[in-house]
Amino acid sequence: DERSFYGMDLGLEYYFSSDLSGFFNYSWVSDNSFMQKVVGFEDQDPLPSYLNIPKNKFRIGLNYNPEVGFNGSISFQHDDSYFAAAGQFAGDTDPRNLVDLGLGYNMSSGLAISLAVQNAFNNEYRYLPNMPKIGRRAIAKIRYTFGGK
């Protein structure tokens, strides 16, 4: 059976300077759960169907990224709770309120080092019900760009 819904994605980025920018992303959908008739079983009661996404979510943050020297980023993400139906991973999801941080250094030789911390405050959540909890994650990178810069 067909579904009827609509939504919107909005992404904005503003450059305060060539090195500093701020961003805001927002996603919204009118409905994420439906009662649908199954094709071939139209005489039966409708069954629930889900998009497995929140109705509202947003992310806001700042990026500082000069060509050479220290760089960094900070962002906040919020995802509303929603009902997910993915086999054994069915039920209400946890709302997510996450802060991500990044710090790095770019050298004029083309070498760059960075550390990114996702969910910096260790606000544990499950992506779907019955899945393992996700906490803080840190990723360190060393990158070299041949030819410098």
Mean pLDDT for back-to-back runs of 10 residues, the chain (149 residues): 86 98 97 84 84 95 96 97 90 94 95 97 92 96 84
For residue 41, the model assigns a pLDDT of 81
> pTM for the complete prediction?
0.85
Instruction: Name 112's Cβ contacts closer than 8 Å, sequence gap at least 6.
Output: 104, 105, 106, 141, 142, 143, 144, 145
Angstrom CA distances, 65 to 37, 50, 106, stand at: 52, 40, 9
Nearest in space to 68 (alpha carbons), one of 101, 111, 103, 102 = 111
For residue 149, the model assigns a pLDDT of 55
Spell 107-138 as b/e; 16+ CB within 10 A means b: eeeeebebebbbbbeeeebbebbeeeebeeee
